[in-house]
């Protein structure tokens, strides 16, 4: 959160004033930016779209297999998806309520802090961290449920493929389209798994760079504290410099509020010169860390673009296969139609599998975001101040300075962002649940199910076309982002 400036204890970013004693607006720039941090780059809109897509494809699969031995299994899968949507909705409702409660607690804690009641503030902050830890466990449980259903749909797809073989000889063109789609789907899944691994590696590397930069900043703060000790007690205590330089690395440089005139200013001591050298080293190290972080983010952008290109190619093959689905139930066409319907069932399950993979990834990153909130550095910073600075007025002044305000505001905006994410996802998952419930109530007969295939085919084709357009745009945006990253 390097953007903006701190004025009188408030952070001003893009002409908007953010204060620690009031919750930031959900639609504010800092909260929207914090949503990206919480989700680690996962596109929430895409996750929501895929969940609705999975609900629609489940009905397509259901209609495709009516009259076959797979029908009872797919009906049960419908019920499982509905239960998963209900679980997600209830979880999001609870998390949204707790997140809003935590935001209120944080504001109260920061008020106590500025009033000098640091013990009470730390107690409230630790309560917030405990909430985050419990929420991380909840997200992990849901991620496991999504992962389990993802694996089941893979088996459903294989079962549908077996039934295609039992139907007899499939048209050569249909076989070609299927094989091409399989190849692209396999490549797409492999790219997704590779991207996930690279995401984790890049995020770990960026976290490591950030921690190293924090430690370097902490050492500069140690040198500054040493100078304060020397000024207050004289050079008799100069031997304490080395000890002070090893203070908690999460401590932050506090500028010396005392000023001297040119005539009164004493000559710089060796310890002061050492502190100046340390500050110079920190600047150089910070520049190197920033360059490293830019390089890592560029690598991440490149892999995301490659995945989107694979997705774009897969959509093209899916569109070809969708066009082959027929609802013509004349005697001459019934065998071909059955084969095509089963192919569509297989296609549906392949894409449900991919959609649920992304939903699983979403819950994993929600878990990671909550774990991060469960270990806030702001608590350690306050405890460090209380233990190293005896003067309460000086500590209160520090709580209104640049580094502390930015760190505390970052924690507050991330909690606000979490509440916002929960609200948005809850609406989307309820929409998906309504779709599944509506489809379950239809319970079409074999004849009715086959008659619905033409409409479902048209709907699928249109949706694939929209997805292709969005994918083209995503590739273009990825290219722009990479060019921008290279320029900086």
Closest CA to 365 of 146, 89, 136: 136
pLDDT of the residue at 281: 56
425/89 Cα distance (integer angstroms): 8
**For position 327, what pLDDT does the model report?**
39
Radius of gyration of the chain (CA): 29
Query: Cβ–Cβ contacts within 10 Å for residue 202, how many?
Result: 22
Per-residue pLDDT of 190-206, as tens digits, reads 666 666 666 666 666 65
Q: Return d(Cα 102, Cα 98) in angstroms, integer.
A: 6
* Residue for token pair 């490591």: 208
Find where tokens 């499939």 sit: 170
pLDDT of 167 reads 62
pLDDT in tens, the chain (488 residues): 457 898 988 999 989 999 999 999 999 999 999 988 888 766 777 777 777 888 888 888 888 888 888 888 888 888 888 898 898 899 889 999 999 999 999 999 999 999 889 999 999 999 998 989 898 898 888 888 888 888 888 888 888 877 777 665 545 555 566 666 667 666 666 666 666 666 666 666 656 655 555 555 454 444 444 444 344 444 433 444 344 344 333 333 344 444 444 444 444 444 444 445 544 554 565 566 566 666 766 766 676 677 667 667 666 666 665 655 443 333 334 445 555 666 666 677 677 777 777 778 788 888 888 888 888 888 888 999 888 888 988 999 999 999 899 999 999 999 999 999 999 889 888 988 898 888 888 888 888 888 888 788 788 888 878 877 877 887 887 788 777 767 65
Both tokens assigned to 214: 């924090």
Distance between CA atoms of residues 74 and 91, nearest Å: 26
CB 217 within 8 A of CB 253: yes
156 contact partners, CB below 8 Å, separation of at least 6: 61, 70, 73, 74, 77, 345, 349
Kindly state the tokens that stand for 156.
């459903």
CA-CA distance, 375 to 312, in Å (whole number)?
Answer: 39
Distance CA 456, CA 467 (A): 16
| Residue-range domain boundaries for the chain | 19-487
CA distance 221 to 225: 6
In this prediction, residue 96 carries a pLDDT of 93
pLDDT in tens, 407-451: 999 999 999 999 999 998 898 889 888 988 888 888 888 888 888
Q: pTM for the full model?
A: 0.62
Distance between CA 264 and CA 258 in Å, rounded?
Answer: 12
């Amino acid at each position: 959160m390097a953007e903006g400036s701190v004025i009188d204890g408030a952070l001003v970013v893009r002409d908007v004033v953010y204060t620690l004693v009031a919750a930031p607006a959900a639609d504010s720039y800092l909260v929207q930016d914090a949503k990206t941090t919480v989700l680690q780059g996962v596109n929430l809109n895409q996750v929501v779209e895929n969940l609705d897509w999975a609900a629609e494809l489940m009905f397509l699969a259901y209609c495709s297999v009516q009259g076959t031995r797979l029908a009872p299994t797919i009906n049960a899968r419908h019920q499982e998806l509905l239960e998963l949507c209900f679980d997600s909705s209830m979880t999001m409702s609870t998390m949204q309520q707790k997140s809003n409660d935590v935001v209120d607690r944080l504001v109260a804690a920061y008020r106590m802090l500025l009033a000098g009641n640091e013990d009470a503030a730390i107690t409230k902050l630790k309560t917030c961290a405990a909430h985050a830890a419990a929420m991380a466990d909840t997200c992990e449980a849901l991620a496991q449920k999504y992962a389990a259903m993802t694996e089941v749909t893979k088996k459903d797809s294989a079962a549908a493929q077996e039934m295609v073989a039992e139907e007899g000889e499939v048209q050569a063109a249909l076989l070609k389209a299927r094989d091409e789609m399989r190849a692209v789907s396999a490549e797409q899944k492999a790219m997704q798994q590779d991207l996930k691994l690279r995401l984790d590696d890049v995020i770990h590397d960026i976290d490591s760079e950030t921690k190293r930069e924090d430690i370097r900043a902490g050492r500069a703060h140690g040198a500054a504290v040493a100078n304060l000790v020397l000024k207050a007690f004289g050079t008799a205590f100069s031997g304490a410099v080395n000890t002070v330089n090893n203070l908690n690395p999460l401590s932050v440089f506090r500028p010396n509020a005392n000023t001297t005139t040119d005539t009164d200013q004493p000559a710089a001591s060796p310890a002061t010169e050492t502190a100046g050298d340390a500050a110079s080293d920190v600047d150089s190290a910070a520049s190197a860390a920033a360059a490293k972080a830019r390089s890592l983010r560029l690598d991440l952008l490149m892999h995301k673009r490659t995945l989107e290109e694979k997705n774009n190619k897969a959509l093209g093959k899916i569109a070809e296969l969708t066009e082959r689905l027929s609802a013509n139930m004349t005697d001459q066409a019934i065998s071909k139609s059955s084969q095509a319907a089963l192919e569509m069932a297989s296609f549906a399950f392949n894409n449900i599998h991919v959609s649920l993979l992304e939903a699983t990834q979403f819950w994993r990153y929600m878990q990671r975001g909550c774990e991060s909130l469960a270990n806030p550095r702001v608590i350690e910073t306050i405890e460090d101040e209380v233990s190293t600075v005896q003067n309460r007025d000086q500590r209160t002044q520090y709580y209104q300075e640049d580094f502390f305000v930015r760190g505390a505001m970052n924690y507050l905006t991330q909690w606000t962002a979490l509440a916002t994410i929960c609200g948005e996802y809850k609406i989307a998952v309820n929409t998906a649940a309504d779709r599944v419930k509506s489809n379950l109530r239809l319970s079409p007969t074999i004849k009715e199910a086959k008659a619905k295939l033409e409409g479902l085919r048209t709907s699928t084709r249109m949706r694939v076309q929209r997805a292709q357009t969005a994918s083209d745009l995503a590739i273009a945006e990825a290219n722009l982002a990479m060019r921008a990253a290279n320029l900086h």
